[in-house]
Structure 1
């Protein structure tokens, strides 16, 4: 099977609309999600311990975690559905049953601190032994974002792809079946020489594309599924529309980065843009040509510094070399994760209070207001969060850059605080 698998992988990697190219490779939203989900899982654990988790999915900290996952629309669009509270079936039974809720919290806490796959598998088996109704391997999607090199994600399409590729009949809701799938996935990945990636999201994306019929099997593969042509064409059209929408969102994000970069320069600041965006260009001009080659020296842990380096735009005083202002542009990704990056930056800069800005489309204003009400972002001594809507920035950027004295000109159009 190895030769056929390699040929399948080559087609997967060559397709510009495959999961590999639209979600796995060089996807800022995917990379941002890891830290947000880890932080969200911590909140779930703390809420369960404190007795504030609630008795419904809606409004619980678990809803935030699954929102971050389902924002990865190419692969995880329906990932939240298994966690919705279904009152008639009383599943998943982690909302009303306090013992089950506590067991779920212990499971997440143990997995969060695990460093080996064997330990995670033991925790899965312990959770499975609890026989919590409705709580099956959909949880693996959370585990993937905690341990991407140990645990593959899991959904119906991936299961269908696995059964097609391996001529198997694994059932949907079984942890035992998931663990058997995991072993086969890891073995197949290692057989590729070199593997698609140590991150199991890459080969899981291949299973997804096979499972929805995006990639048809050929050669000696025996196809276990027959795809309805109309259904397949509908799936391919949706993938094409998703890719186009993602490109439009990416372009809008880049345009706003350029706008804020130019405004900062007009106001007399040096500008830093996110390290993974520096080489991007608009109308033949690269962000790299307008911005600093590196951040000023900041005393912070290397992991925190890496997070801060991904902040979309930072304005820096040319004389003092101090950070004056920072912006996170949230076109479609999690508002919460952007706020965390700004908070990390503020907490590393000393006692002074900083004014940082979320920049978002007008239709996301309600989401911003909801996040600003979270307990984690109230009464922060180190940072004042305000937000700017795309329309306000676009309509006023030229005037603010020309007539403003410093970053405070933004307060004329900013909202919040």
Structure 2
């Protein structure tokens, strides 16, 4: 591939504020949170498979939780869950009814999760491919990306279509051999493009080509009318998607603003998620309402990194966490519960835990909190409640004026 051609495409990709480079790769804290959620979820999948308690359907399984966290990265991974749906008539993917295949899949995931280099993962892919498990193809590569983002790129129809257009190849989607071939070319081209060590950035470039937002000279003349129409539709869809994302981000920031303002009025020290300090609401940066540094030196680095990303924390004057709030506008309720669960395990004193979500997600919250794995955690169950956007927005001023401590939330806090 000519260097100047790739440079030109890369510039167009970077300079477009609505490209997935900006809307997903650079400016999406949910992408970063997904890495932890997926790794944690995979450990549960692996444990259940080893114990023989995984079950025989995708729906309601721990694997559904993992793949849902991936597909929620909607800018590029929408539809990532489809290959894992159990299709009874076709008996695919054959990891739900065949215990041997299920065990092999679990051990593949375990080996990849614990792998320390690309060769180890490569060898596991070859071993898995040799088993010829019906319906279990390189859609699994999307999981690998979230385990080893600098070594293994994501893989879907638009990415493959973009790859074929850019590299003048005819690779097919459902082959591990095709995926590994594509990976080798991407690794070389990514060094030339110098976007990021994280292959998600280059995969986003291929996605833009494959979805018609970046047009190549080689195929423009042959399909000009059709592709131009597709491109305009894609631009319009992306534009609306960006607007929707901005509305969601504003709602998220608004709830953090209310919680920070309320916490400070009650006399608590407030922490807002590290990656949200530069967000703005009402013309003010959220970081202005937050402690500049989270004073929890007694936590291990891995736990600290997780707790520091919780949307809002209230601390007393002794720097003890009084409560934690996770705002879930459109992201996974399950991942929010996991982050709060991590918080509950990391503090010695009693800590109130709150999910904060739009009214329309109340049924989903109840369903998640009724999962058997959470019901068994009695301490978590008793500590966790939820707040609805409408209640917090409507009553915040009154609570700021008349509240004395965290008990002011009791009238609007809900539990299952």
Q: Give the TM-score category using the shorter length.
A: over 0.9
The more displaced of 393-402 and 165-174 is 393-402
Q: What CA distance in whole angstroms lies between the structure 1 residues aligned with 2:27 and 2:18?
A: 14
How many Å apart are 1:223 and its aligned residue?
6.5
Alignment of 1:307-326 (within 5 A): 307-318=306-317, 320-326=318-324
Greater helix proportion: 2
In the aligned structure 1, how far is the partner of 2:221 from the partner of 2:45? 39
Instruction: Give the SS at the match of 2:203.
Output: helix
**Which is further off, 81-90 or 129-138?**
81-90
1:365-376 maps to which residues of 2 (within 5 A)?
365-376=362-373
Q: CA deviation at 1:158?
A: 0.3
Aligned-pair CA distance for 1:80: 0.8
Q: Tell me if the contact between 2:296 and 2:304 (Cα under 8 Å) persists in the aligned partners.
A: no
Once the 2 structures are TM-superposed, how far is the Cα of residue 222 of structure 1 from its aligned partner? 6.1
Hey, what's the Cα distance between the residues in 2 that align with 1:300 and 1:225? 60
| Per-residue deviation, 1:371 | 1.8
By how many angstroms is 1:266 displaced?
1.2
Which residue is 2:177 aligned to? 176
Quick one: distance in 2 between partners of 1:224 and 1:142?
Answer: 37
Instruction: Give the match's secondary structure for 1:228.
Output: helix
Q: Are the counterparts in 2 of residues 314 and 326 from structure 1 also a CA contact under 8 Å?
A: yes
Deviates more, 1:335-344 or 1:245-254: 335-344
Structure 2 CA distance for aligned equivalents of residues 206 and 349 of structure 1: 42
Q: 1:176 to 1:203 in 2, by over 3 A?
A: same
The alpha-carbon deviation at position 355 of structure 1 amounts to: 1.1
Partner of 2:342: 344
| Distance in 1 separating the partners of 2:211 and 2:75 | 12
Per the TM alignment, residue 224 of structure 1 is displaced from its structure 2 partner at its CA by 11
**Corresponding position of 2:281:** 282
Partner of 1:99: 100
Cα distance in structure 1, aligned partners of 2:112 and 2:385: 35
Deviation at 1:297, TM superposition (A): 3.0
RMSD of Structure 2 on Structure 1 (CA): 1.6
State the distance in 1 between where 2:126 and 2:281 align: 51
When residues 293 and 80 of structure 1 are mapped into structure 2, their CA distance, relative to the original with a 3 A threshold, is same
* 1:149-188 matched pairs, under 5 angstroms: 149-188=150-189
1:133 is matched with 134
Give yes or no for contact 2:321–2:351 (8 Å, CA) kept in 1.
no
State the 1:8 CA deviation. 0.5
Q: CA separation in 2, counterparts of 1:50 and 1:146? A: 23
Aligned to 1:239: 238
By how many angstroms is 1:317 displaced?
A: 1.3
Q: Which position in structure 1 is the counterpart of 2:50?
A: 49
